[in-house]
Structures are given as structure tokens and as C-alpha cells.
Structure 1
Amino acid sequence: MHQPSVQGGANAAVARSRPSVPGTPRSYNARMNAHHSSFDVAVIGGGLVGKTAALALTQCGLRVALLAQHCQPLPGDAVFDSRIYALSASSQALLERLRVWQALDASRLSPVYDMRVYGDAHAELHFSAFQASVPQLAWIAESSLIEHALDAALRFQPNLTWLDTRAQGLDVKTGGATIGLANGNVLEADLVVGADGAHSWVRAQIGSKTSRRDYRQTGVVANFKAERPHGETAYQWFRDGEVIALLPLPDGHVSLVWSALTDHANTLIRLDPAQLAAEVERVTMGALGKLDCVTPPQGFPLALQTVDRLVAPRVALVGDAAHLIHPLAGQGMNLGLRDVASLVDVIAKKEAFRDLGDTVLLRRYERSRSEDIRALTIATDGLQRLFSLPGNIARAVRNTGMAFVGGQPLVKRWLVSAALG
């Protein structure tokens, strides 16, 4: 019997699926016209990771229910979304396989060819795509741009049912998972994918315990028009326990991600556009000349969160439901998309006799993700702790370390390779 394939499209064979239930909806944004419907997979959560998971699984030929809200309209042509992501090569490859990358507006994407990192005592690191022999270090893309491309792709998946409601009950039994919905309907699925964020309802239902460390920091994001060309370079500064990043956007714009202590972040958010621009110019030492703030600043709390297990019988966690890391490395979204790629790969390679919710199968997914998640968690948390330590000795140690890495081409190439996924 054929195995599902992520490239197989809607006509790919399915290793195991439930018998079709008469009247079960099969179209984008369908309304359930029966009180009880059956699916191969139910994806709970409609962020970028959840929608990517739903699309990848439908392209395996599986019948998928997506429980999520529809996204908001795209910002105007002259405005860039303040929520941006630095997408790695592995994330780009996944979106290309799903034919989402090809649908993105290229005029709103920016490659990153170079990255310059500055310590708090004149140490500097330079990463170059040319020196690493890769086309680019990353792509900078707006969250809303990716989300709308995913929505467009999902719209034409005959195996997808989009339910604009939320789950409020989960009952897992040997024969399948039953999900009670807020609209009074019930659905069954062989597998439930929890992609519902850091405060995951699905995670709570399966009793997966979390370990959380509040960084007492807030990520402040805003976009600026820069006086000087950024040259497709990403900049990052470590200053007084905070991290300031300027990421390149098209047409001479840059995106600010300032991981600031919460009280300081609140002050930054209250500044008027001219004052905020002046403060960013000051802390970045005018690297890009005069800045003009073009979007109001927004803030989101920063924390480290790990879970004791990614899977339970008939349930798998992906994205922020499975892990939360500091944004200083820009790897949170890439980590979540690698979750999706691994889960789909495990499903595509499963034995024909195995159920989609088979615990043995799901543990393969968990094992495939453990090293990647652990390594990035330790690296980002370690860097955050290191650059938060006060005192001259700590400052000397971290800047000496940066200088050492800067003089080791092989180490830098390894770091670039790790970041590419």
C-alpha cells in the first residue's frame, strides 16, 4: 500500500483513513453540516505553524480538520507588518515543497547576505553568506505575508475542512480522539496536532508539564525607513543585558526587534515615533543614519518554556505549544516549522499497518525533534544569561569569546550551517 508523501498533492494515497461519513464537509471554510464528522487529523491552532501543518498533511492525501480563525487583511502596500521572521534554508525548503514560497510577493521579501553582531565591549562578529558558500543566511518575511499565502493554498485543498471555532473537550480512546467544539459539534480524528501556542489548550489536556522561565523582558518591534542602505545586512547589538536587532526589509526599510527589560520596554512603547527613532539611532550608534519610524511599536513578553513530552496517545505538539525560546537568534519560527517537517516525514514513512495516532509512531517524531530543540534551547538561553551577567569580568569573558569565534572561520561556518537548519 502506498505511503503518503508531502509532495504527493491531494491525490496521494493514504496509508490509513477512516471511512467517509455522508455529509462530511470537504472544502475550505466548510461548515459542518452533520453533528459528528470524522477526519484523519485535527490540527488545533491557526498560526503559521498550525496552517503549515494542516497544508502539509492535506498534501499527503489525509483528511484534515483545521480549528483556527481566519487571518486579518494584509497591510497596505506602503506598510510592512511589524511581525517579521528570519526564515532559514530549511523553512524555505518546506514552504517551497508546499508551493507556498512561490506564492509570496518577492517585492516584500529581503535576503540576508551578511550579519554583524556587536558585543558590549567593542567585540564584533561578522557572518557572510559568501564566506559560508550559501546563497543567503536567511530571508526576512512578514508574518501576514506568509499567512495569506498559506490561506490561499489551503483554500484549494479538497481534503481540508476549516472550522472557525475552538475545541473545548478532548477524549482520547483506543479507537480515536473525540473533540467537542464550542459550536456544539463533535469531530473524531486518528491524530490531534496541537499547534495552539505557548499557552496550549491541547498540551494541558494531555497533561504535558511545562518548565517556564520568565526573562522579565519584552520584545519591542517596529519598522523604520533608514537613511543609509542596509545592504541586506542584519545587525545585532548586546547592550546592558538587552539585545537590539535591525533586520533588512525591502525599499530601505528595517525592522527593529529590541529585547528590553520590561520596564524599559514599556517606556520605549510609550515614546512618540520621533523619540523612538532617536533612541534607536543612539543605541545603534547611527549605523544606518537617521531613522523614520513608520509603524507603531508593539511588545510581547519573552520567556523560555520547555515541555516534558511532545506526544501522548493520538496527540503531537508542534511550534510554541512544544517549546518557547528567546528571539535573540531568530530561530523560534524555524524550530516550529522543523517540527512540522519532521512530523510529516514520520507519517510519510510509517508502516501501512500503523494507525496515525500510534504511540510508537509519535515517539519517532518526539525522538527526531529532541536534539534540535534541546540544542537551540540551551544555546539561546545560555547566550541570554551570559549577556545579562553584570560586572567587568563577565563582560571581558563574553567579549573575549566573541573575538575568538570571530577569528575562527570553521567555527563560524559551523554556526551558519546550524542556523540554516
Structure 2
Amino acid sequence: MTNDIVALIEYYEKEKGIDRAKVVAALEFAFISAYRKMVPGAEAIETLRADVDTKKGETKIFASLNVVADGESADKFNDVPLAVAQKRNAGAQPGDVMEFNVTPKDFGRIAVQTAKQTMMQRLRQAEKEMIYEEFKDRAGDIVSGTVRRFERNDVMVDLGKFEGIMPNRERVQGEDYNIGDRIRAYVLAVENEGRGPEIILSRSHPNFVRRLFEAEVNEISDRTVEIRGIAREAGFRTKVAVWSNDPKVDPVGACVGMRGARVKNIVRELNNEKVDIIRWSEDPKEFVREALKPAELRSITVDTEAKIVHVTVDELDLSKAIGRKGQNARLSSRLMGWDVQVRRDESKEEQFKEKIGGAAHTLGEQLGITDELAEKLTFAGGFNPELIVDMPADYIAGALQISEDEAEAILVRARALVG
């Protein structure tokens, strides 16, 4: 055995964490493969065993042969005559199986290159098996690693003994990584396919946020507070619905932390992604009211069968309720599992128009003009004769789209009413 093979054993044992016995077993297999390739007729030998002495650096190959009566050998590669066997063991009898040292001269030195390649293949397979065994139960955990390299848009992450892959689809839009960056990620899956096991990582999955809350909030880890739902658009906004098993514990306050310390740590890990923490409720009306905050809802109508919630809001709150590109309403729908439909509350506007219409009709009768002109005059600020008399004739003419003479006539009638 040469020093490079010894170094290989040390490397795989210490750096890769593969058990020494497995490394030596791989080496033994490799030397047997090398023997079969090097020695004519060795392929026909059914049972071979390699004995590797890692201390002395010696390798021996043994063949298990069947003892047969002299002159009755039918297989020269797997049988040994009784006379030859009895020279090794006087008590040997036909039917016995005996091991014979069949190591060629200088075998270790000649075979080492052939054996090394085979050994590497076996050790790589052993490493893959170890990755799968260690990580198969870690799906759903958060791990830390270092960005090692990029393959197209996929990020390869060094996890110590192992390597994980964060596919482009699991990256967060807007997050950029450099080689050497330390990152945390969610173990989405450990897949054991033809290419060997792969550790699939994600930073965009909603459960990444769930695990961050579990790590940061003691009340969640001890199950006093439960996360009942998460809706996320990674890189932009996440809504988390929480509920407390203990009426004395405020679930939202527990997640926010003193002066917002807990949620700030999570937001920092998410690169300032907006996180809304919402009190969960069985009542759809109460739940949607919490989910659409800070918008104030004017009315809520629930269609239980179709699982649709209709809400109305004032004009000023419409953009808050819907959110940027519909994000707030969309995430609220996902969080609830209901279709949340947001509309502007038009009842006040209709009431205002009715009042304006009534006032304009009265004003028209007073000034002797049509309701249409009276309504235009009202919208221009002339709610009553007292206000109209202070308006210039050209302003009235422009607002009502009439001549200045007609506007002057309206002013005359308004002054007469005022006295």
C-alpha cells in the first residue's frame, strides 16, 4: 500500500466522516477488482478475499477453493486436489473449502492505481449514502452554510461535510449572493435519485418563515402559541396568523417581542421583507378584519357555502385594503382559504349626491334656472344665494358654460334674494 492510499483513507475518515471500516472495505473491494483485471483466469474464481494491513502497508489476496479427490477436479480455477490441500492441512477431506494465498509478486505496487479509481467510486457512493441517511430526517429543518459556487442560476451551498443546492425557483427575488456568503436556508427535501442524494434548500418557502418564528419565539416552541397559517410572497410580504392556547398570553405580542425585538430579527433574516402578524379567529368576519389591517372595513358579508367574503371600504382605505398590485387582499385570501373580494363603499357617495341634488333643485327654483345648471353651480361652490353673490360673473359663466350676460342675470336674482 502506498502513502497516497493511506492519505485517502485518512481524508475520507476525518474530512468526510465515513467510518474507517467502510473505507477499508472499499479498498478491499477495489483490490479484488484490480486482481481480477490483472491476473489471467481470475475472473473465473468465484470467491476472493482481500486482506489489507493498514499498519504494515501490505495487501494479500485469498481464494476460497473446493477440496476434491485427486484426479476428479472439474474446475481448475475453483477446485484444489486433495494431495495439495493436505500439504496445507493434513486433516483436509474432499468437500472442504480452504483459503489459499494467491497474491502475485509486487501486487500492491502494481495494482494500486487500478484499485484507487475503483475505491474512489465506492467511497463516493458511501458518501452519498451517508448524506441521505443523515439528512433524510432533516427535511423541514433550517441549516446554515456558505455559498460555494453557482451552477447557472442555482446556488451550491457548503454545509460542512455535505453540499446542498438551492434551485433558482427556491431563491428569493431580489436576493443576491456572493461566493463565501453565510446563509441560512430551509431543507425542502432530500431526494435520493439516480444521480445520488440531493439536499434541496429553499429561502422562499413559507415554512422557512415558520421555522424562524419557532426558533425566535419561545411561546411557539413550547406550543403555548400556535401558527395557524402562513401566506407568503417571498421578498415582498408575509402574513402569519397566530393563536394562543393560554388566554393570558397575547399571541401577537409574543411574536412581536419587547419593542419588536423578535420580529425584527426575523425581518432582518428575510432581508427586510414585510411581515404582518395577525390574530387568528374562527369567525371569518373577525379574521378578515384583522387580515386587511390597517384598512378600516365598512361592511363585511360572508357567503359560507361559496367561501367568499365581500368587504367594502372607504375610498381612502381602498388602496390599503387591496395593497400594492393586489398583494394585501391576495395574501389575506390565501391565509384564510377564502376568496376575499374588496370593493369601494359607495353608500356615502350616493347619500352625498342625493343631498347635492336636493339642494341644487331648491337653488334652481330660487334662481329660475334648470336643475342641471343649479347642480353645476353647487359643485362650483355656490350652495346658496349668499355664496353666489360673491362670485365674479366670468367665474359663473365658465363653471356653467353660459354667457356672461346670463351669469350677470343669475347674480342679479341672487342679490335680490339676499336683499
TM-score range, shorter chain: under 0.3
Say which structure, 1 or 2, has more relative contact order (CA 8 Å, 6+ apart): 1
Give the number of the structure whose residues are more often helix, by fraction. 2
Please say which structure displays the higher CA radius of gyration: 2
Normalising by structure 2, what TM-score? Answer: 0.22
TM-score normalized with structure 1 length:
0.22
